[in-house]
A and B are shown apart, each in its own frame.
Chain A
Amino acid sequence: NAGVTQTPKFQVLKTGQSMTLQCAQDMNHEYMSWYRQDPGMGLRLIHYSVGAGITDQGEVPNGYNVSRSTTEDFPLRLLSAAPSQTSVYFCASRTFSGNTIYFGEGSWLTVV
Chain B
Amino acid sequence: DQQVKQNSPSLSVQEGRISILNCDYTNSMFDYFLWYKKYPAEGPTFLISISSIKDKNEDGRFTVFLNKSAKHLSLHIVPSQPGDSAVYFCAARRPMIKAAGNKLTFGGGTRVLVKP
Binding site for B on A (CB under 8 A): 4, 31, 33, 35, 40-45, 48, 50, 56, 58, 90, 92, 96-97, 99-106
Contact = CB atoms under 8 A, between A and B. Distances in A.
Contacts of A103: 36, 43-45
A86 B9 CA distance: 21
Contacts of B99: 50, 56
Interface of B: 4, 6, 9, 32, 34, 36, 41-46, 49, 89, 91, 93, 96, 98-101, 103-104, 106-109
Given A43-B106, A96-B101, 14 more contacts: A40-B109, A42-B89, A50-B99, A58-B103, A99-B32, A99-B34, A99-B49, A100-B49, A101-B34, A101-B46, A101-B104, A103-B36, A103-B45, A106-B41
B93 A42 contact: no
A100 B34 CA distance: 8
- Main secondary structure on A side of the interface with B: strand
Interface centre among B32, B99, B106 (most CB of A within 10 A): B106
Nearest to A6: B43
A40 B108 contact: yes
A44 B34 contact: no
Given A40-B9, A40-B108, A4 B43 contact: yes
Nearest to A50: B101
Contacts of A31: 101
Contacts of B36: 103
A4 B91 CA distance: 20
B27 to A, nearest CB: 14
Contact of A44 (B45, B46, B100, B106): B106
